[in-house]
Amino acid sequence: MIKIPLSRPDITEKETRAVLETLKTPQLSLGPRLREFEQRIAEYTGVKYAVAVNSGTSALHLIIRAMGVTEGDEVITTPFSFIASANCVLFEKAKPVFVDIDPLTLNMAPDLIEKKITGRTKAILAVDVFGHPAEWGRLEEIAGKHGLRLIEDSCEALGSEYNGRKTGSFGNAGAFAFYPNKQITTGEGGIIVTGNKRISELCESMRNQGRSPGDGWLGHTILGYNYRISEINCALGIAQMGRIDEILAKRAEVADIYNSRLKEIDDIDTPHISSRGIKISWFVYVVRLKENFSRAQRDMILAGLRAEGIECGDYFPPIHLQPLYRGISGYREGDFPVAESVSERTIALPFYNNLSEEQIEYVVRTLKQVIFEVSKGREIRC
């Protein structure tokens, strides 16, 4: 049986050599490759400072702390994202306040934000969902009007642009992530990007057990964490950044082939890309079934694809309906109808740099057949 994974990193001899050369050095943490990787990301994004850490989740957590978000504060964010974008608020005993999403871009709807602002609101944390930039012009306007911090969760959007500016360069600080399914990978890793020196210094100290400049190895000025990233991870990241244009071009080509082949399937919508100054850096390729399909039918389609060797996913289940959030906040179905409706109909198809045209055609052909069988209430036979 053909086996097509959902994602796969693009690792070449260049990356292998970089890692092996690092293993021959005496310093495997907090060394020159860390600084070089941070500099590469800062220059690419167009910001002054970058602080690399061990995950995108860690990056978001340190940003929340650096912004002074604390117990009793509220942070406005989206219910349609990977759960870390809300959990980072809970880490500091603050409250995530959700806002429904735009039905096309799937990003948080700016026009709904001001209704959720209260005297406890400290920040807005917006997500560039699936690599599509949020409406940063509107978000900056709202944050400025109400004196709020603005945080960019760009963990899925390295290389995307909004009105000529790279994602990660908006608001007070942003975060990227480098898990193996991202545009580039460091194996595990993340980074904070900011134009604010104080935020950079706080995050640099907190990632390394609260050590500040001048502290010895056993000196700890503030509360910190072990969120360090190794020289090995950074070496991999440097090599990947050396290929960033090639990598993004490969991903765009795969998306273009999908867009072309999927036109023949009337029962789905392909990813929307806004025409308003948007350049998308493809993270995943997520289609949506039309509104006449139920979640149960979607799940049957996912099962049918998997039975034919095609890995797939339901990106994203709504955060507010996760057991954790139901338990602490009492959320229920119907609270955010657009996010819930979209979530019930999403199908993440296999997507990675070296996915072949032949594999894409197999995925599309199988998807079309499975959708047909499910829509007719038949047993799936591909």
Determine contact, residues 155/182, Cβ cutoff 8 Å. Answer: yes
- Position 380 scores a pLDDT of 67
> What letter does residue 262 receive in the DSSP assignment?
G
Q: Please list, residue by residue across 252-262, b when 16 or more beta carbons sit within 10 angstroms of its beta carbon and e when fewer do.
A: eebbebbeebb
Determine contact, residues 269/290, Cβ cutoff 8 Å. Answer: yes
Q: What is the pLDDT of residues 171-180, one digit of tens each?
A: 999 999 999 9
Residue where a domain stops, chosen among 179, 211, 241: 241
C-alpha 96: how far from its chain's center? 17
Range of the structural domain that residue 319 is part of = 244-375
Q: What is the CATH number of the domain that holds 176?
A: 3.40.640.10
| Other residues' Cβ atoms within 10 Å of the Cβ of residue 338 | 16
pTM for the whole structure: 0.96
Q: Does 136 lie in the same domain as 25?
A: yes
Residue where a domain stops, chosen among 241, 267, 298: 241
User: Is residue 37, in this structure, part of any structural domain at all?
Assistant: yes
User: Is residue 94, in this structure, part of any structural domain at all?
Assistant: yes
Look over the chain and give the mean of its residue pLDDT values, rounded to a whole number.
Answer: 97
Considering all CA atoms of the chain, what is the largest pairwise distance in Å, rounded to the nearest integer?
70
Q: Please list, residue by residue across 12-29, b when 16 or more beta carbons sit within 10 angstroms of its beta carbon and e when fewer do.
A: eeebeebbeebeeeeeee
Q: What is the CATH number of the domain that holds 297?
A: 3.90.1150.10
Phi/psi for 344 (5° steps) reads: -70, -15
Q: Does 261 lie in the same domain as 200?
A: no
Q: Which amino acid is at 311?
A: E
H or E segment and range at residue 13:
helix 13-23
Name the 3-class secondary structure at 127.
Answer: strand
Distance CA 245, CA 366 (A): 31
Q: What is the pLDDT of residues 181-239, one digit of tens each?
A: 999 999 999 999 999 999 999 999 999 999 998 899 999 999 999 999 999 999 999 99
User: Is residue 325, in this structure, part of any structural domain at all?
Assistant: yes
Distance CA 73, CA 93 (A): 8
Q: Which two tokens stand for residue 70?
A: 């604390």
Q: Does 179 lie in the same domain as 93?
A: yes
Q: Does 279 lie in the same domain as 214?
A: no
Which of 274, 297, 329, 292 lies closest to 79 in space, CA to CA? 329
Q: Does 315 lie in the same domain as 293?
A: yes
Average pLDDT over residues 28-46: 98
The partner residues of 166 in beta bridges, in order of sequence, read 161
Q: Does 353 lie in the same domain as 272?
A: yes
The yes-or-no verdict on residue 35 having pLDDT over 90 is: yes
Q: Where are the alpha helices (DSSP H) in 24-134?
A: 32-45, 56-66, 84-90
User: Is residue 24, in this structure, part of any structural domain at all?
Assistant: yes
User: Is residue 380, in this structure, part of any structural domain at all?
Assistant: no
User: Is residue 382, in this structure, part of any structural domain at all?
Assistant: no
Q: Does 367 lie in the same domain as 276?
A: yes
Q: Does 276 lie in the same domain as 347?
A: yes
State the virtual CA torsion across 17, 18, 20, 21 in degrees, nearest 10.
110
Q: What is the pLDDT of residues 307-330, one digit of tens each?
A: 999 999 999 999 999 999 999 888
Q: What is the pLDDT of residues 47-104, one digit of tens each?
A: 999 999 999 999 999 999 999 999 999 999 999 999 999 999 999 999 999 999 999 9
Q: Does 20 lie in the same domain as 31?
A: yes
Q: How confident is the model at residue 34 (pLDDT cuts 50, 70, 90)?
A: very high
User: Is residue 7, in this structure, part of any structural domain at all?
Assistant: no
Q: Does 344 lie in the same domain as 216?
A: no
Q: Does 88 lie in the same domain as 236?
A: yes
Q: How many CA atoms lie within 13 A of 204 on its CB side?
A: 18
Q: Does 232 lie in the same domain as 254?
A: no
User: Is residue 21, in this structure, part of any structural domain at all?
Assistant: yes
Q: Tally the domains of the chain.
A: 2
**Residues counted in the chain:** 382
Residue where a domain stops, chosen among 215, 241, 267: 241
